[in-house]
Amino acid sequence: MQAPAALSPPPSVSLRAQALQVLCTSDPAEKVAATHALFEAQRAGHTHLNTGEPLVPDATQPLPGRPARPLLIAPVDVPQRSPFTPEGFAMLLHAVAHIEFNAIDLALDAIWRFPDMPADYYTEWLQVAHEEAIHFGLLRAHLQSLSHDYGDFAAHNSLWEMCIRTQHDVTARMALVPRTMEARGLDATPPMQARLRKVGSPAALRAVEILDVILRDEIGHVAVGNRWYGWLCERQGIEPLAHYRRLAREHSAPRLKPPFNEVARRAAGFSQPELDALLGT
């Protein structure tokens, strides 16, 4: 009896090129699925990494890919509602879901845009993208359980705007996206959870549970940014704190305001001098 032919292994895809393709995916569900698929493919050894591969976005595809909604408006124009009302609670969930959807894009962009980094840089950011996609999925499902969906409310574009400002400098990107914009979530999450506990409804308490997952993972995500920022500064002979201040001025980073989640920030790799600078001590 003839032995069956061996199955051919799945074709290997370029990790960085595929990250760019996923970034350009507009439908949220498709982007989430494609992000998870790329993560699983990399873990299974079905991707290859050419850190110096020249990549040029397709001019016919949006960068990043986004659905037609939500409507994007200036941050000051985004309505504020109390989570103690059904609509206000849904708007709060939507705002966090929008941050997490953008965070998928931020991680994917970090993979394709910056060449010639160590291999661990790319695999770590792919894991971040995978976890951000999990967060978005949890929040979207919770919104849908409340008869809402992602896109139902207006949102702002601040996270991606900082991506654009730092698109030509990986050191600035590491300094000002994960270590600044995303680290604000470490500070904002506990007060948000406290308000939701006061709401006390089953839906609000479920949101607190989801935020526990997000906070745990985001400490790791900010740590990735801290680690690579420190690596880049060391390689370039740059003093990290002074260079951060210069980058923050040059790229108009938001001025961070207390209260700060010092425990989470320490866990994410912020040094005591950096915390002292935040606190103005």
pLDDT digit string (tens) for 77-130?
Answer: 998 889 999 999 999 999 999 999 999 999 999 999 999 999 999 999 999 999
Rounded-to-integer distance, Cα 216 and Cα 234, Å: 28
Phi, psi dihedrals of residue 9, rounded to the nearest 5°: -65, 150
3-state secondary structure of 127: helix
**Domains of the chain, residue spans:** 13-51+78-279
Rounded-to-integer distance, Cα 192 and Cα 16, Å: 35
Rounded-to-integer distance, Cα 278 and Cα 68, Å: 38
- At 221-265, the pLDDT tens digits run 999 999 999 999 999 999 999 999 999 999 999 988 889 999 999
- Report the percent of the chain where pLDDT is more than 90: 87
- At 151-195, the pLDDT tens digits run 999 999 999 999 999 999 999 999 999 999 999 999 999 999 999
Q: Give residue 6's pLDDT.
A: 46
Q: Can you give the pTM of this predicted structure?
A: 0.94
Q: How many CB atoms lie within 10 A of CB 123?
A: 17
State how beta strands 13-14 and 47-48 pair: parallel
- At 22-80, the pLDDT tens digits run 999 999 999 999 999 999 999 999 999 999 999 999 888 889 999 999 999 999 899 88
Question: CATH homologous superfamily of domain 13-51+78-279?
Answer: Ferritin, core subunit, four-helix bundle (1.20.1260.10)
pLDDT at 131 over 70: yes
